[in-house]
Structure 1
Amino acid sequence: MTVKIEVEPFEPDQAAAEDLTALYELSMAAVRLDRPDLVVPGYDDWVAGLRQPAAGFGPRGSWVARCDGELVAKAVVYFLPGENEHLALTEITVAPQRRRAGVGTAVLRALLPELEARGRKVVEGWELSKGGVGEQWALAVGLRISKSTISQTLAVRDTDPTLWDVPAPEGFRVAEWAGSAPDELVTSYAHALFAMHDAPAGDSEYRIGEWTAERIRDAEARHREQNVVQRVVVAVSEATGEVAALTQLDLYTAYPEWAVQQDTAVIPAYRGKGLGRWVKAHMLRALLAERPSTEKIYTNVNADNEHMIRVNEQIGFTTSRSTVGVSAEIAELRRLLG
């Protein structure tokens, strides 16, 4: 029997209390099943997080799906900006008791015309557990695996802090900030960020843009608008005054007990000196001195990036799960799903 699914936009800031409660219960049931590595937030923290979009991914749209009035699925789509404006980064979560009944497929089918109407050509999903039900479903409906990644977690209380006692490589000094790069470093910092373009990325359609000082300032403004604090630590060459390496970490007010490790990059001319490990270790020491309540730090790394995986392990990260990214052209999915 075909299940009738009704998909409708969902505004977290305007949602009724009963819908938020139902969505929380659905989300936490899925987290416990699919993401045992994550800390399960309480209701109030979860609602705050729901209303605080991830920084750096552009505008966000949310939808819910109902069957006979019961909330059975949710979908979140980020409409990526700039050179990725053809992409719709999509996550569909189905209530565990409603899986394998066509709910996820019905939600995707309903979303595709909306994504296309917003000028998107490709839909991608990231961080699906390798071999899990999400990957199996994605392949069944016509998406393909576009990259292999791993999730890594640093449990602060279980980690030996001496791992972060990394000496400064000769000829470099550290600089750090939260929220806004110093004027004298912003251009060099932008140049160093572009070093990410040669990091392994599989066959994902996501593209690393060319960073400029202006683009850095725009990104910083978006973080402030979303109430996300980005901490940055860089290694500066004493000889040239330029940024040779960097690492970024995002802090969300909704989740005061954890943090998200973002990009780490080293300019090719300075690689092989241990700068990546040094700036990441300094970041951890500075973060925990300022915010000792931090319990876990999460990050994702392409499975082919053996160097960064090893660096993370050297400072205490452990692999919590293997994941994949999936991708498909929207026009092809519409043809397949009817």
Structure 2
Amino acid sequence: MANDVRIEQLWIPDSLDGADAADFITAVEVGRRVRMQTWGSDDLAYAPQEKLLEMADPYERQVILVARVDGDIVGTVDIALPLADNLDLAEFALDILPEFQGRGVGRRLLEAAEHFARGEGRHTILIDTNHSRASLGDSGVGQLIPGTGLGFVPMNSREVEFARRSGYTLQHIEQFSACTLPLDSKLVEELETEAQEANAGRYRLHHWTDQCPDQWLEAVVKLENSAGEDGVPGADDTDMVFDGGILREAEDVAIAQGRRTVVTAVEEIATGELVGLTTISVLALRPDVVFQDDTVVLRKHRGNKLGLLIKVANMERLAEQFPGARVLYTWNAPENRYLLKVNQQLGFTTAGVTGLWQKELPDFGPSTS
């Protein structure tokens, strides 16, 4: 079967209106069908317009390779090449139509993507595998444990077997959780009371949407940068150092891509310092499906239930501004007990896990897949 596969780079159209957009729309549909297969819904799938907007991200170059069989697109691999940091890294997202899985298409696409990445000077490759909650429940299946952290992926998974056979090593697990919106008003009242009692009126909340007020810009920069140094649960594991310009650029990119950003921050009244922050993203074309981004609380202010305080408040803000939102998704490291406990109180349930895999490519010679 694999010999009949033709791999080519996908043309990215300027808009979806022209005749040259047909292949792009078909390629995006491949991703939607794969997510339907994995999760039972297309909540995590891109709409074509959304994907087109994302292709213009100034922080990473994005390329899509497609696999054709008899002229039809049956598989895709999205290649993301970071441009601001991690310049040795390439991230792949591989999707094969269900009826073409197990027929050599994925292997050919992955080899082509690795060849492309090496040609761009990238040697560290990351891919992920996704596993629904139902696929994790069979205690009879073997469990593959990651190199760091907690959690597992099922050994008998087709995706796991493929990743291992292709030379990738499981590095980390992220727990994928979902929360039905809006929150029950009685639950909100109880959680707000619990959080307020714990912090004893020593903090006040601030809210904004899309753009941080000028008065808090430097405070948010300081919070984001100190979060990484402090090992704060929920903070990005990244080498990027933030400044006001970078944050403003990131806001502009989100707005250009049609994303809305709902933010709640918490200030320690005595010092005027911002000590915590949480963010929810709303996509332009799917306002019913929203995503929890970073939640950061500085270590020295733990134990005051600030994580709970800001997340409840931000979810209430979200409900006011985007009443059509019906589900909130989030990813957390399984060892991040602090945020997982808060999420459990809010009503999040585990929807599955994502396995993060890594491979180091050699400088020269054929692909080691």
TM-score, scaled to structure 2: 0.81
Report if aligned partners of 1:176, 1:233 keep a CA contact under 8 Å in 2: yes
Distance 1:160 1:241 in 2: 32
Give 1:35's aligned residue: 39
Q: Measured at CA, do residues 196 and 151 of structure 1 come closer, stay the same or move farther in structure 2, by a change above 3 Å?
A: farther
Alignment of structure 1 residues 1-338 onto 2, 5 Å: 2-10=2-10, 11=12, 13=14, 16=20, 18-19=22-23, 22-23=26-27, 25-36=29-40, 38-39=42-43, 46-53=47-54, 58-126=60-128, 128-129=130-131, 130-131=153-154, 132-156=157-181, 159-165=183-189, 166-167=192-193, 168=196, 169=199, 170-194=201-225, 195-196=227-228, 198-199=231-232, 207-331=238-362, 334-337=366-369
Shift of 1:295: 0.8
Task: Give 3-state SS (helix, strand or coil) of 1:78's partner.
Answer: strand
Report if aligned partners of 1:164, 1:284 keep a CA contact under 8 Å in 2: no
Shift of 1:207: 2.6
TM-score, scaled to structure 1: 0.88
Count residues in correspondence: 330
Report if aligned partners of 1:152, 1:299 keep a CA contact under 8 Å in 2: yes
Report if aligned partners of 1:56, 1:223 keep a CA contact under 8 Å in 2: no
Shift of 1:21: 5.7
Residue by residue, what CA displacement relative to the aligned partner does 1:210-241 show, whole Å, maximum 9, x if unpaired?
22222212211221222222221100111111
Name which structure has the greater RCO, CA cutoff 8 Å, separation 6+: 1
Distance 2:347 2:53 in 1: 28
Give 2:134's aligned residue: none
Residue by residue, what CA displacement relative to the aligned partner does 1:150-181 show, whole Å, maximum 9, x if unpaired?
10111115x53333331443211111111221
Give the alignment's Cα RMSD to 1 decimal.
2.6
Q: Which amino acid aligns with 1:291?
A: F
Distance 1:162 1:79 in 2: 46
Shift of 1:304: 1.4
Q: Which amino acid aligns with 1:32?
A: M
Q: Measured at CA, do residues 207 and 231 of structure 1 come closer, stay the same or move farther in structure 2, by a change above 3 Å?
A: same
Shift of 1:56: 8.9
Structure 2 unaligned residues grouped into runs of 5+: 132-152
Report if aligned partners of 2:130, 2:352 keep a CA contact under 8 Å in 1: no
The share of aligned pairs that are identical, in percent, is 21
Residue by residue, what CA displacement relative to the aligned partner does 1:279-337 show, whole Å, maximum 9, x if unpaired?
11111001111111001111111111122111111112111012211111132895413
Q: Which amino acid aligns with 1:164?
A: V
Structure 1 unaligned residues grouped into runs of 5+: none
Q: Measured at CA, do residues 189 and 87 of structure 1 come closer, stay the same or move farther in structure 2, by a change above 3 Å?
A: same
Task: Give 3-state SS (helix, strand or coil) of 2:331's partner.
Answer: strand
Report if aligned partners of 1:199, 1:305 keep a CA contact under 8 Å in 2: no
